[in-house]
Chains A and B, each alone.
Chain A
Amino acid sequence: MIGTIMKTSLLHLRRDRVVQALTFLLPIAFFSIFALVFGGRGTSGSEVRVDVGVVDEDGSAVSTRLLAALEKEKGLEVSRTVKVREAQEPLDRERARALVQAGRLDIAVVAPKGFGAAFPGFFPGAPEVEILADPSNPIAAQMVVGLLQKVGMTALPDLLARRGMEAFERYAGVLTPGQRAAVDQWLQHLQAGAVAAPRGDAQPEPMGSGLVRTKVVDVIRERAPRTGIIAFYAAGVGVMFLLFMASGAGGALLEEAEAGTLERLLTSRLGMGRLLLAKWVFLTLLGFAQVTVMFVWGALVFGLDLWGHLGGFVVMTAVTAAAASGFGLVLATLCRSRQQLGGLSTIVILIMSAVGGSMFPRFLMSETMQKAGLLTFNGWALDGYLKVFWRNAPTLDLWPQVLVLSALAAGFMLAARLLARRWEAA
């Protein structure tokens, strides 16, 4: 008896490819994606790369050596100039701040006037290196602060020792000539060792923290205090559920085919083209309403600044909903049954959401995965929403996202139209 029931279950499983895929392929696909997203930092091709702008207002030997050493660190892509009207001009504090705000730099490091003279920052009141940071990328700030401490020790050991001895002499008495000669010889040795240190591989001995005094300045929140990580989650979750809604509602087409109403619709004056167009417009409006409801909730309950970004929100939501609706119709016209659609859409949408940044911010992924994210619908949509709510970008700056999502919407509709030909006259 039990064997018979098990055999029947096995026969069902063998003949249902969707269930097989959900059972075996979906876990593998998810495991692989999360392994790539979170674990892909071991090889050089997939390392996290942080774009750092460097501004040396001090111009001292200390700041020059410190920032040059920072430039040699692996994982940092340091720039000291910015392109202004076809010409490269040196970065200054304001330009660096604007570039971080616009998302074109992950972070900027500013060595202020008087920094070199007061190095190391053992004493209160010493000028601090300013880290102009985007709080959406906390890893970049922590990485740069840590690396500054590291290069402070590895690139300037002679200076550390010299300043240390000066402090010693000031508070404990002057060295004898013999002691002075020995210390000078040691300092020369330290300086030679620092210059010869290979790129990024120096292992500093633990000496405590705070050699290089730093101050992290949040350049995003200082402009828009009410928008924050909520905007990211609203957009991420919104786009993912937009896709689920569109594919689910697009599946009505399959139900209509199964029930026979599609046959009846197609024997009326309505053609397949107009039927798809009607469904696409409806899904787009429904998707717009769905995302709007969520953002209004975010504004009312979590203080999301929707009203201050209304123009960008409307533009992004319109193109995102249009493209998501097209995508839902492609899935619906591709599948042969509602069950197939359920399985396929779950797999595709969850994978796109993981890679595209709906579940985990793309800027925290390895560079390879960040690029892979741009192959997904979610990646472009989220970039647009982050531009609006995080970076306060003007609506006109959304043109790349609007262009890509509009092209995707048109492409999806064309594909859906071609796939729907199977329901037309045989």
Chain B
Amino acid sequence: MKPLRVSLAEKRFGDTTALAGVSLELEAGELLALLGPNGAGKTTLVRAIAGRVRLDAGRIELGGRLAEERGARDVLGVVPQDIALYGMLTPRENLELFGRLHGLGGTALSDAVGWALGWTGLEDRSRELVKTFSGGMKRRLNIAAGVLHRPRIVLLDEPTVGVDPQSRERIYEMLTELRREGASLLLTTHQLDEAESRCDRVVIIDHGTVVGAGTLSELVGRLFGGRRTVVLTLDRAPEMPLPGLELEPGERTARAMLGDAVDELPALLGRVRAAGFEVEDLALHRPGLGAVFLALTGRELRE
């Protein structure tokens, strides 16, 4: 049984179609990245799963139960993009509040709060007001407040936005710990490198539909086969176009996509030399998530 299954989700806001039949599945214990350009429908989908948006059509199942069923969403933890904490309360008071609202009480609550303070590394600051914390500390506490009741499925909306690399690393360590304990995670992010290096699978949506889903290898294989990108550094910036190469104006770098690098590379290097240039450096890359995203959506993620 899949922890989360979204089938043919549709949602319109007036004349705008936010979701036009999105389907996706979250596997047990996996970390799934949900990617898409701005306005693609990511937030609407996450809010629909969280119960904050009513679908016009389609269904959402959580642990095999329809999400609308009473108590079905109890297995869900939601970590919003905003720092949704009370600045005038201490971390302990915030955690106790959200723990109670998720049904915890008594020893279970104090145990959960103790765990969360340790998990976030905020034990020493547990009696200070949250408004005095750094951005990274608030982010960690923001995540803890959403997972305090130890949900089986965690939705994270941009959990690392605006934090320094050190805090980001700490946040991913925390997420890894959650996965180890059996939670399945769905996160939205604009950080392609994070999605590429940290997530098991990615789902890319655009214009309210899924345009690609799978592991990075599967997506690259599907879109680019065995093709590789070659990046050449020349001795000087070319002033005229070079056949078969993409150039950056004024730059010494030149790129080309090769179907079979072993066969095609010698001919390419020969053409460069014939044009009067020397190759100072050469790198061969498998296309990454950026290339996949661009190929599927026609846009850079940041656009």
Contacts and interface: CB of A to CB of B under 8 A. Distances in A.
Contacts of A259: 82-84
Contacts of A265: 101
A265 B51 CA distance: 12
A373 B197 CA distance: 69
B52 A266 contact: yes
B182 interface: no
Contacts of A267: 50-52, 73, 76, 78
Contacts of B241: none
B86 interface: yes
Contacts of B135: none
A268 B81 CA distance: 16
Given A267-B78, A425-B52, A260 B101 contact: no
B78 A264 contact: yes
B57 interface: no
A426 B84 contact: no
Contact of B103 (A261, A263, A269, A425): A269
Given A426-B13, A426-B53, A263 B101 contact: no
Contact of A269 (B47, B53, B86, B101): B101
Contact of A268 (B13, B85, B98): B98
A35 to B, nearest CB: 44
B80 A260 contact: yes
A172 interface: no
Given A268-B98, A426-B13, A426-B54, A260 B82 contact: yes
Per DSSP, are chain B's interface residues mostly helix, strand or loop, or mixed? Answer: loop
Contacts of A263: 52, 80, 82, 84
A261 B51 CA distance: 16
A425 B80 contact: no
Interface in A229-255: none
B160 to A, nearest CB: 17
B102 interface: yes
Interface residues of B, number: 24
A260 B82 CA distance: 6
Contacts of A261: 84-86
A270 interface: yes
A362 to B, nearest CB: 40
A340 to B, nearest CB: 21
B46 to A, nearest CB: 11
A128 B170 CA distance: 93
A45 B83 CA distance: 59
A270 B51 CA distance: 13
B34 interface: no
B60 interface: no
Contacts of B52: 263, 266-267, 425-426
A267 B82 CA distance: 14
B62 interface: no
B101 A270 contact: yes
Interface in A408-426: 425-426
B199 to A, nearest CB: 23
A155 B81 CA distance: 85
A264 B145 contact: yes
Contacts of A260: 80-84
A263 B146 CA distance: 12
Interface in B205-256: none
A261 B146 CA distance: 11
A275 B43 CA distance: 24
Nearest to A426: B53
Nearest to B146: A264
Interface string A252-288: 0000000111011111111000000000000000000
A268 B102 CA distance: 6
Most chain-A CB neighbours within 10 Å: which of B52, B53, B54?
B52
A124 to B, nearest CB: 73
B101 A268 contact: yes
Contacts of B78: 264, 267
Interface in B69-117: 73-74, 76, 78, 80-86, 98, 101-103
B158 to A, nearest CB: 12
A264 B98 contact: yes
A195 to B, nearest CB: 79
A376 to B, nearest CB: 34
Contacts of B85: 261
Interface in B22-81: 47, 50-54, 73-74, 76, 78, 80-81
A265 B86 CA distance: 11
A203 B13 CA distance: 75
Contacts of B50: 267
Nearest to B74: A269
B102 A269 contact: yes
Nearest to A262: B84
Contacts of B81: 260
Contact of A264 (B54, B80, B103): B80
Contacts of A269: 74, 101-103
A295 to B, nearest CB: 29
A269 B82 CA distance: 20
B53 A425 contact: yes
Interface string A382-426: 000000000000000000000000000000000000000000011
Interface in B1-22: 13
Contacts of B47: 426
Interface in B113-146: 145-146
B37 to A, nearest CB: 22
Nearest to B83: A260
B203 to A, nearest CB: 21
A266 B80 CA distance: 12
A257 to B, nearest CB: 10
Nearest to A424: B52
B182 to A, nearest CB: 21
Contacts of B84: 259-261, 263-264
Nearest to B155: A267
B17 to A, nearest CB: 14
A112 B95 CA distance: 77
A264 B145 CA distance: 9
Contacts of A426: 13, 47, 52-54
B143 to A, nearest CB: 12
A397 to B, nearest CB: 43
A424 to B, nearest CB: 8
Given A261-B85, A425-B54, 10 more contacts: A259-B82, A260-B80, A263-B52, A263-B80, A263-B84, A264-B145, A264-B146, A268-B102, A425-B51, A426-B54
Closest 10 CB pairs of A and B: A260-B82, A268-B101, A260-B84, A264-B84, A267-B78, A261-B84, A267-B50, A425-B54, A270-B101, A426-B53
